[in-house]
Amino acid sequence: MIALLRYQAALLIGSHRWLPPVILYAAFLAVGIQTGGPMLDSYGFAAAGTLPMAVWLARICVTSEPPAARNCAAAAAGPGRVHLASLLTAALGALLLALGGTAFVALTSDPHFSDHRVAVPVLPATAAGLLTALACVLLGIAIGALCNWPVLRSPGSAIPAGLLAALLLSVLGASPANAAVTGMVSGSAHGTVSMPWLPLAGTVPIAVAAVAAACVLSSRRN
């Protein structure tokens, strides 16, 4: 599995297809986060941006190999493991992005609640920001796993489906990612830091199930 992860990571890095999502995320942070804004709101905003980026990275990693090369690796290691490695690589890439976003917020935001008077406990707030980002990344990877090969095979359906799912799950109140981000923003307004344990507990099984389904399907569809 480590060899497969190294291979997929080298594919991702060498192909330079990671550049557009990273640049877009950097622009999103630069435009959306005001220097000196309240810390918890900024964490929530930065985390919300990682969801579509995770969807995008999942698509990049899943489609990074031409079918002939994928078959060679699949014969050696099994198609399910090859697919799992590509989704894990996307998840690791999105987590790096989330770490970068969290660090940016930690350095530039104002460590106070939204009234700008009461100080925010920085460490718990950063932990809550990271967990929120993790929930968004996991949900994004789940969308990416279900909206690409082998579940949706043609780009004509995969890309719109991925975009729509990313939008809906960012906006709809029932989505765990939305719940985590809302929790950060309302915590800032009410002067509390709440850890997003419940949304995270919702996203983990969703992500595991989606990735497992995609990996099982990878040897059945073609």
Q: Measured between alpha carbons, how far is 140 from 50 in angstroms, rounded to an integer? A: 8
Among 19, 31, 68, 107, binds another protein (CB under 8 A): 68
User: Smaller CB distance to another protein: residue 81 or 182?
Assistant: 81
76 binds another protein (CB under 8 A): yes
Give the sign of the dihedral formed by CA 153, CA 12, CA 102, CA 205.
positive
201 binds another protein (CB under 8 A): no
65 binds another protein (CB under 8 A): yes
214 binds another protein (CB under 8 A): no
219 binds another protein (CB under 8 A): yes
75 binds another protein (CB under 8 A): yes
Burial (Cβ within 10 Å: 0-12, 13-18, ≥19) of residue 107: exposed
Q: What is the maximum span of the chain, computed from C-alpha positions, in angstroms? A: 61
Residue with tokens 């029932």: 174
222 binds another protein (CB under 8 A): yes
157 binds another protein (CB under 8 A): no
- Residues 13-32 close enough to bind another protein by CB under 8 A: 13-16
The answer to whether 87 and 141 are in contact (CB under 8 A) is yes
Q: Measured between alpha carbons, how far is 218 from 181 in angstroms, rounded to an integer? A: 33
Give Cα separations from 198 to 58, 175, 195, 202 (angstroms): 24, 11, 8, 6
52 binds another protein (CB under 8 A): no
72 binds another protein (CB under 8 A): yes
153 binds another protein (CB under 8 A): no
Among 48, 51, 58, 74, binds another protein (CB under 8 A): 74
User: Smaller CB distance to another protein: residue 79 or 187?
Assistant: 79
71 binds another protein (CB under 8 A): yes
Residue with tokens 């796993």: 145
Q: Counting every residue, how long is the chain?
A: 222
Catalog residues that contact another protein under the rule CB under 8 A.
Answer: 3-4, 6-7, 10-11, 13-16, 65-66, 68-69, 71-79, 219-222
